[in-house]
Amino acid sequence: MCREWIDHSAALGAPVIRIFAGNVPKGDAEDAARERCIEGINQSLDYAATKGVSLALENHGGITATAEQMLKIIKGVKPSPWFGVNFDGGNFRVDDPYAELEKIAPYAINSQIKVDVFAGGKKELADLPRVVKILKDAHYRGFLVLEYESEEDPFVAIPRHLKRMRELIST
């Protein structure tokens, strides 16, 4: 499936696709699931390189629910300029999501910023200046994408959030 989407991305001229590690199947061990994930990424990386498409592992729950889990996968994947992280600012659901984001930011090749985070199990407004600073401190040079999933009317909220993000990245 990953190679199929690499083909679609290459046809569209998209330089990066996000990939997901999944969950631990019932009756299985996290270590085994992680090893399968690493092997699959390594196999897909060779193909992605031939198509000029980078693979960006997203922090998306399951075996990527924490930065520690992400780093085990990242360090297991063979070094390649075609691999990195899809930094999703709202997906860590831990006590301090910002600390987790700092750990994966150096590997970011794509970034999706959300206006909400989940800290200590509670949904709250993201500290956008802090998120942008985390990326700047990691020398991130890519695009910042606003991924809006909040309750406020998107026609009202999105222009306001985009304006704020533009201000933050221009300073």
Q: What percent of the chain has pLDDT over 70?
A: 100
pLDDT digits (tens, 9 = 90+) for 114-146: 999 999 989 999 999 999 999 999 999 999 999
Tokens at 74, concatenated:
């990242």
Q: Is 66 exposed, middle or buried (0-12, 13-18, 19+ CB in 10 A)?
A: middle
| pTM (2 d.p.) | 0.94
pLDDT tens by residue, 36-68 = 999 999 999 999 999 999 999 999 999 999 999
pLDDT for 167 beyond 90: yes
Averaged pLDDT for residues 76-103: 97
Nearest to 90, CA basis, from 58, 68, 62: 58
Mean pLDDT of 12-20: 97
Q: Tell me the pLDDT of the chain averaged across its residues.
A: 97
The domains located in the chain, with CATH, are 2-169 (3.20.20.150)
